[in-house]
Structure 1
């Protein structure tokens, strides 16, 4: 092999073909979201398929012999990491603990806006709160407290509503059991009216705001 072929890249990294195969396979398999085929892995790592197949089986055997908490399986024509069944209790405990974590004040406020104004778009929620609610909405979606509820006819923006899980966690039989909010509605309407033009739409299908409109909102960290 010539010196030109082994020269490192400008960033100081070795080429894919120069990498050690076992750790390279581990690194790739750590980020796949579905089983990766031997053909695909061989193409990505610039190695013969037979070498990749043999190495994958070696890794799988090593993890079993070492008693690791995960295993490498050939499923649906591809390879992927899975936790071992005997450690399911530990994984379940971690997942449930994350689901039961307390919501932040920002999340609670956003959830309240959705609950009382549903179905409602993200931009409407952001207008009422005066801040970008994208991150908080994603958290509420992941927790199963809110869900998509179609689109807004005028703008095509996605609408959101609370879920049955929300009712369960709040101890409510239905939305009609939510506390009365009438005394606070005028103030909420005024806030939205004042901030609607200054808050850019955070719905992916909505048009960008005019360049001469000054954005006076803040973004949650």
Structure 2
């Protein structure tokens, strides 16, 4: 039996329980990337028109089904397990420096922050940052970059979706 593309897309996004890339969806639909994107957008519009309580979100080079933020509070009793503890201000500062300056060494992070970058380990444990290589500098220090998990957790399609910096100054992002 041949299924309509939107039915296949909806089923794939629901069954996967994760974001599904355009390439993966294209492989199921045999429509090519442009045709697949058009069908996903049409599915998203249809879901929105019918007020079904979820939506298609484009993230990290693919799509996933999510609950609209306005409904999340009403579902709180059903949501389990509790989320990981929030990141500390220091961890968020380090993450911001890595996100905007990657690839970056620990020494560069510390110079920009004016303090320790010890939270890099926490960020690695949460799979938000990874070792992206080594620098050519003396001692070949590790270079850090963000992961796909970072994009997913922050709802970004790509690093280009980060809010623009005001000039080259991190002061408005750090310590406050």
TM-score (norm 2): 0.48
Larger radius of gyration: 1
Q: Which has the higher contact order (CA 8 A, sep 6+)?
A: 2
